[in-house]
Chain A
Amino acid sequence: MHQTGINRFQRRVLPLAVLLFVIISWYIISLFVPSNSVFPSPVDVFFGFLEEAGSGRLANDLIASLFRVTAGFFLAVFLGIPLGLWMGVQPFARAALLPTINFFRNLSPLAWIPFAILWFGIGDAPAVFLIFMAAFFPIVLATIAAVGNIPAVYFRVGSDYGMNRWEILKNITFPAIAPQVITSLRVTAGLSWLVVVAAEMIAGNDGLGFAIWDARNGLRMDLLVSGMIVIGLIGVILDRVLVQLTEIPSIRWGYER
């Protein structure tokens, strides 16, 4: 993560310059495309954003999407990490389940959309189900891999110092897999945020994904782009939040070598 050759000022200013360049280019192109229902200008989008924010619809959609992602993602975490741990330590369980987990890992969660609607209807449940399907399998696989990567010497140290099985799990296995598992949580949280948009476009009546689909149906491209920008920004913020976990002192070591 260490960047060399640029100073702090440049690090701050360069991204803003690129952003400004993109917006200005966008504006100039929009001048040559007369119909703002095909190519809205940044000004249209800005006013569209104010309209959505002012009516309270934006906040409503935002909360709906965040709730679904949180529910589906945490469900995947709380079921996926224990399953991964168990498979990581039990060769029997690994041999039995790994091919199945791998199959579902490689099956696009979006392929479940028809069943999600059929089984759960419209609203929170199908989206939570799809997010779970997207996040659960990668988390299981990452946890298995993390357990497999623990150097044997840590377990030896644990038993040298008289730890019992529970202490070894709590004091050796958990902290040893934490960095790798957190990396996978960052990836799957991003994946969940991608999936919620798709889920809401098809099986929602609110949420940011529904909002942009609704805007498209109403030919309000300004609202559509405003929704896209919000979705992108929230994705970045989610990742920034999870990155904080990697700064915890007892976890930092995992990213230092």
Chain B
Amino acid sequence: MSDKLIHVQNVSHSFGNTTVLENVNLTISRGEFIAIVGPSGCGKTTLLNLISGYENPSSGSISRNGKLRMVYQQDGLLPWLTVIENVGLGIRHLRDAEEKNRQLKDAIELIGLEGFEQHYPHQLSGGMRQRVELARALTGESDILLMDEPFSALDYLTRIKMRNELVRLLKERPRTVILVTHDIEEAAQLADRIIPLTTRPATILTEKRIELEKPRSLTDPIVTEAVHDLLISLSPGSLPATEKTGIKAEEN
């Protein structure tokens, strides 16, 4: 299998007369963690929907190599299924009952929800629900994880915890990840490459690479610097002029 899992070529997309994405090019290799950031309504989710194949682009082409799994913002768990039934959705066709049970047990252990297997989503906290979503997406065969604002419905501290949780889970079950978020901190803490989308019609002007071991501290100078640079490139004028403004964004 090729090492280029996702290849987005000259993609433009419109809804009616509104052009949402214009001439987007993006290549994603196996094992990469990409974050797409930008303001609400800029077309991040549209780009993710195009990559997942949920929508077809108005022009251009997208090739995918490998199996995709999607993690939704919130309430992507089916509320009438228990934790274990939700997690097992991806392996429900597995014939071997023993193997299936082993995988389910592993998944529950992975997210530390032993004892909650028979609970329903509405009986869990927001953070627990999101962990179940992750376990569901990571159970069974898949190569690419598409995450649409996965932690945005959580409170701040839970969100930070979930980032570390995601890093830990990905160490256990490596996947190529495309994360869509408006949370710049989240992107800086998690991603190898950060792609800021411009306002509509969105296109990719720059990208930022962060080469730093994970898990990363939120207050690591490299992370805070990346947050700073991204704020400037996404929303010039959002920061008061300080001595830090002098740092030049490393762009390519």
Contact = CB atoms under 8 A, between A and B. Distances in A.
Interface of A: 151, 153-154, 156-157, 160-162, 171-172, 175-176, 178, 249-254, 256-257
A156 B80 contact: no
B90 A161 contact: yes
Contacts of A175: 78, 80
A162 B91 CA distance: 10
Contacts of A257: 122
B153 interface: no
B120 A157 contact: no
Interface in B58-99: 69-70, 72, 75-76, 78-81, 89-90, 92-93
A153 B45 CA distance: 13
B89 A153 contact: no
A256 B121 CA distance: 11
B54 interface: yes
Contacts of B79: 253-254
Interface residues on B, range: 10 to 19
Given A250-B80, A253-B80, A153 B120 contact: no
Interface of B: 54, 69-70, 72, 75-76, 78-81, 89-90, 92-93, 120-122
Contacts of B69: 160
Most chain B CB neighbours (cut-off 10 Å) among A157, A178, A252: A157
A77 to B, nearest CB: 20
B133 to A, nearest CB: 10
A157 B70 CA distance: 8
A153 B90 contact: no
B78 A172 contact: yes
The 4 closest A-B pairs by CB, nearest first: A175-B80, A253-B79, A250-B80, A161-B89
Given A157-B89, A175-B80, A253 B120 contact: yes
A257 B70 CA distance: 25
Nearest to A174: B80
